Amino acid sequence: MKKLLTERLELRLWQPSDVNDLYEYAKDPQVGPNAGWSAHENIKESQRIVDLFIKDADVYAIVLKSENKVIGSLGLHDRTIENESPSDLKQREIGYVLNPKYWGKGIMPEVVKTVIEYGFEELGLDLIWCCHFDFNNKSKSVIHKSGFNYRFTTTKTLPNLNNKEVNQLCYSITKEEYFTAEASVSRRR
């Protein structure tokens, strides 16, 4: 994944020195449980996750340029969504979290818009997914603002949250939907 820039943010790969910034938000119970993982109990847990992010290289660190600080993450995961039959479409699933100190400023919609553009225009993807749990209205709002279309609801068991059962709503954008919307925006310019 190449480095991406938005007006306020830089999206880059993770570095070992990002661990304190990750722990600052990963220990907050408002963050992980809304995304399917439990709050970090100590910095060692955050260290393990930074190591994984560095190894897998499919998760961006979201850096707030004005503070030169990592304030969240966005994964662009190479996976097929459950409930969908395997296909040879080139698809990715977006997942994200943000440090609660920075919520409500339109930061994640700014990030998601740029990653969608990158996915379709540079990676040549056919399809991008994004899902949220039915109780997560903040993520639902980001997904709606980012132009995703609702596809289906499924039930999931979350192994990292004591096997809690949740309903998950899944949305996607196809490349046809993306380029049709882009063409209509350019016509209006």
Ligand X SMILES: CC(C)(COP(=O)(O)OP(=O)(O)OC[C@H]1O[C@@H](n2cnc3c(N)ncnc32)[C@H](O)[C@@H]1OP(=O)(O)O)[C@@H](O)C(=O)NCCC(=O)NCCS
Cα distance between residue 9 and residue 68, in whole Å = 9
Using the minimum distance from each CB to ligand X, give the nearer residue, 95 or 119. 95
139 backbone dihedrals φ, ψ, rounded to 5°: -70, -40
Is there binding between residue 80 and ligand X (CB under 6 A)? Answer: no
Which range touches ligand X (CB under 6 A), out of 3-11, 62-70, 131-139, 156-164?
Answer: 131-139
Using the minimum distance from each CB to ligand X, give the nearer residue, 122 or 159. 159
- List the one residue from 5, 83, 106, 160 that touches ligand X (CB under 6 A): 106
- List the one residue from 139, 148, 170, 178 that touches ligand X (CB under 6 A): 139
40 backbone dihedrals φ, ψ, rounded to 5°: -70, 135
- List the one residue from 62, 76, 97, 125 that touches ligand X (CB under 6 A): 97
Is there binding between residue 112 and ligand X (CB under 6 A)? Answer: no
Binding site for ligand X (CB under 6 A): 31, 34-35, 96-98, 103-109, 132, 136, 138-139, 141-142
